[in-house]
Structure 1
Amino acid sequence: MNAVVALCHFCESHGPSSVFCTQTLRDSKIDEQLFNFDRNKACAACNSIGLSLGMVSRDEESNANFLSTQAPVIAEVVGLIRQAAVRSLSCEVSCNMDGGFVFFGDSTRGHVLSHTFHIRDSQARGFYKLFAIVILMKDKMFLLNIQPFLSENLSKISTILKNYALSTYNTEQAKFSERAQRLTSGQPNTQALRSLAELTGETNIYAELHTHFTWILWAGARCLSESLTLGSPTVPPFIGRDTEEGFSLVQMDKEGWLLNKYGLDNEDDEFYSLRKCKSILRSDFVAVCYCVIVGIQVILRGPSSKTMVLMKSLRKLLPESMHTLTRNDSPRYIPPTECKILSLASEVAVPQPCNTILRVDFIGNDDLISVKWTGEMPSKYPDLLTKIIKAVDEKLFTDFVLCKHMKVLVEEWKK
């Protein structure tokens, strides 16, 4: 993933700045990179691993180097990260300051997803220090598409840091209560500012952050290249802490990756497929799909085991936000204003078919069905319906690929 992940903090002496950055370098020699650090900030809180050190992980498959330093090694990125740090820790404020997410930026200065949070510090003003993890990227749509994945994992990283710092805070307060001292004397703390390693009590905290940030960049690139899912992509499990032998990237086991790269259950994809729906509806398949797309209510009457197949198959024609307008095995009839696809038992009374209601009745224990609708199909089908018919008839599409393709078609149609 072509992005920069940075940990930023608000220093009581120097203001907002980044203290640790990880970025992807391709076709670059690491030892030839110039480290562009601001040497005027010499306090412990504004420094992390030193002015001339870096941590490197390499993905042999993609030939990508993941380099972590105190500041970005690419000169033009330094100013962008500095600006992202200032905005994320000052003006771009979330309604939930402890764990909030904010998206901002433009095509010139890059697009940023910022996650702000507080960690405990017994010597800080207010006994808290403000931190932020920012992800800077030029590609706005890519960043927005993987925002659910990024938000989930940035929250996990911040929780790890907060738990470390809370443990240190509790230990320090048990030995000497800084709060009681301030209340008694009325004097602020004048001790030197402390680094993140001191706040968390973890000497290898930056190595751990390097592992987490590297995994996010690696997994963020792989999951969207491996799958067409437009929502939160499925990725290998979050790595957490590594063993004492060292820090490494996710184990790139081929078989393990292939088993976990997809977001849907394969059995579910194959069983609740539009092809299965077509085999049940036969010649009425196109008319039923048309009614679902244009908003005409579809009523499915019969045994739950049979109506559920049609329900879950036809529901894929609707955006996920409209899945709340479907009801399975309802005990009563629900009007079209509240439900677009409705399945219920045969004995439940329902209105007669009309222009705004299509009814599918299962007859007996056989696979016989009766489809009734008084409306007429248009001479020219909607573009989405045409693409659906073509996709269902495409023999090269497996049921899984067809399901993914349908998601893309529906998302395009929604926009």
Structure 2
Amino acid sequence: MSPDRPVFVTHSADVRKAALPPPDPEALALSQDLSASIAAEIKARGGAIPFRRYMELALYAPGLGYYVAGQQRFGPGGDFVTAPEMGSLFGATLARAVAPLPGSDGVLEFGAGSGALAAQLLAALPPTPYAILEVSPDLAERQRQRLAGLPVRWLSALPACWRGVVLANEVLDAIPPHLVELDQDGVLWELGVALGPEGFVWRHLPASDALQERLAPYLPHWPRPYRSEVNLAAEAWLRDVAEHLECGAILIIDYGHGAAEYYHPQRSMGTLRAYYRQHWLEDPFYLPGLCDLTAHLDFDALQRVAVAAGLQVRSYDPLARFLIVNGLAEVFSAASGSADPLTRMQLANEAKRLTLPQEMGESFKVLILSKESPCKSPSTASKTATP
């Protein structure tokens, strides 16, 4: 998720409080209720919970979490701006890549946010079945309002067998990862969350064998201390989708790196960030429920999982290259040809933000996976649809 002109704010409490806009009373009360709920779970579980559980509650706790509490999240008036909300170029260019992909079930979008990308794809694609699987009831309702009259259906679960395109645009970064830390003595810990005198604090928890094994190649090269993430849950998501995909493609669009860059010794504080009102922070404990929490993806790990699950890696590119290869220049020319000067300037600014290395062009990656092997079961998308 790309904040609109991001501003770095240190985790220093004094600087943070002075620099950030305060929440309104209703939002502050929601955050306080969520904090109390998380604190109660910490106490009930012996004084600490894994950070991944804290992040799950902060984002998805029923009625209180960031994505389910009804606050405005997307666009200039929210906390961040996603690519399809900057304008029409991203969606129109993505449609050119999606159109030739196989599958009679059409497009299944995970976590459709405000519905902006769905609207753009449906406008650019030939008549195509379109489904959305959204875990947030609040966002699903907003999508229904925005997409009213369009041929979209909402699914309550992943279909048993899908023939078509599965799209995850800026979704996997919000799946809670394991947060790990190598301490000064060379001991690897999983980071947890406990209660301190003034709020939530970090706590070292034993790292599992799976985490130890995954990070063993990197540990000797890391400085001490060193902090990073391992997103086993995102990998499990991909395995699950691959199992249910009969034929078609999976498109993952998000910010991330290959493993060598992700776990580079100089990246000693990892990639975890909080987003609040177009600012990004290093402190994930600031106003729980009012901040988006994200971490970059390890795209090498996702590709290994994909191949092991029977998928083929069709392409893996930085966003800029993906858009250029799929006709961004032609889309821009068509959109700006008869536009007024102000619209042309807006389109040019959008193209720059999508492609410049210091914006989204290099930090965002596009991974396309495909599968052609048959599945024994018929498609069951209609059986899991909701109106």
TM range (shorter): under 0.3
Q: Which has the larger radius of gyration?
A: 1
TM-score (norm. length: structure 2): 0.21
Higher helix share: 1
